Amino acid sequence: MQKTLIGAIASHDSVRKNVEFSTILRLLYERDRELLSEFHFLMTRGTFNRCVLGKDVGDFQEAGQLTGLESPVREFMIENTTILPR
């Protein structure tokens, strides 16, 4: 099956942008998982950690502002994302 690639980068200095991106992924998954399955995501390690896993090495995580995705959306994104090398 061919998939369309989507490159995604969320700014490391904006909690709002990271949370909004996570929310979009969750809503797309909930609304039409089959459609979302037609895509494969490319993300930087930082974007993946913040938006999918809810982890950050900076102040966002310490303040508890990043939530990431919950299962099963998280597992779906882990399986359908390639993390770009530095």
Q: Amino acid letter at 29?
A: Y
Q: Amino acid letter at 27?
A: L
Q: How does pLDDT run across 37-80, given as a tens digit for each residue?
A: 999 999 999 999 999 998 876 666 656 678 889 999 999 999 99
Q: How does pLDDT run across 46-55, given as a tens digit for each residue?
A: 999 999 998 8
* pTM listed for this prediction: 0.86
Phi-psi bin for 41: left (phi > 0), alpha (psi -120 to 50), beta? beta
Ranges of each domain in the chain? 15-84
Phi-psi bin for 78: left (phi > 0), alpha (psi -120 to 50), beta? alpha
Residues 6+ apart with CB under 8 A from 73: 25, 26, 29, 30
